[in-house]
Amino acid sequence: MNGHRDEHNIFQEPLYVDFRDTDRDQHVKLSVWIAWMAGLAGDDYEERGLGRDQLISEGQVFLVNRFVLKVTDPPKCYQTLKAMTWEHSLETVFFNRNHRFETPEGETIAEGRSAWLLCDPQNHRILRPRALKHEPKWVDREVDCPPLNQIPVPEQLETLGQRKIVYTDLDANRHVYCANYGNIIDDFLPDELVSRPFKTFEITYAKEALLGETLDILGADTPDGYVLIGRHPDGGNSFISRISF
């Protein structure tokens, strides 16, 4: 971790767009964007002495519920970036966080939001925010990005295929790592879309997917973007995403 917190309580660290971070068309992969935002949040807490191991020792863990991202100037391979994040607000049980990505010259290329839930690390039951034993550092600084709203599910959905959850999808919480859903989405997007740089991306993690489970992948083109859903066999949604170009 090479990050630090500035005088405004904004955590920032450098990023480098490596060859492995890009797809066949040299666009940053969706999974990489998600991993950047999730990693920033984790590094922010780690820098404050509130990393995952410390929180788990206190019977708590942060799990992400939603990400929203707006990209105004897609980064290039081998480009250096400055990434920033800060705790923005508390909304019922959601710890809301903002994100910004800039060039070294200070030009904003992307901004995002994320919503996190404080949970029991054993059963992933949601805990009340007041259970957190540490004081958040709220920063009243907005971003130019869609809000963290629920994504409407279209009535008519096309079945795109199935995706079995395998070992390499998982993280230490024993469910699919949040960024790996980005790979699932890219794998099932229509080819004419996956090759295009996206403008906005939204995802809600509705119910964790576990090893050995098989998700039905459904999609629909809507006026507000392409909606892609992973659905459990019992009919419940695992994730709901929307991407606009």
HSE-CB for 110 with a 13 A CA cutoff:
28
The predicted structure's pLDDT at residue 2: 85
The predicted structure's pLDDT at residue 195: 84
Kindly give the parts of the chain with pLDDT less than 70. Answer: 1
The predicted structure's pLDDT at residue 60: 96
Identity of the residue numbered 85: T
The second-level CATH assignment, the architecture, of 4-131 is: Roll (3.10)
Largest Cα span, the chain:
50
Residues of the chain with CATH 3.10.129.10: 4-131, 158-244
The predicted structure's pLDDT at residue 153: 97
| CATH of region 158-244, choose from 3.10.129.10, 3.40.190.10, 3.90.380.10, 3.20.20.10 | 3.10.129.10
The predicted structure's pLDDT at residue 209: 98
Q: Give, in order, the Cα–Cα distances in Å from 187 to each of 23, 50, 108, 160, 184.
A: 11, 35, 29, 10, 5
CA distance 74 to 103: 11
pTM, two decimals, is: 0.96
CA distance 162 to 149: 27
The predicted structure's pLDDT at residue 1: 67
Strand, helix or coil at 237? Answer: strand
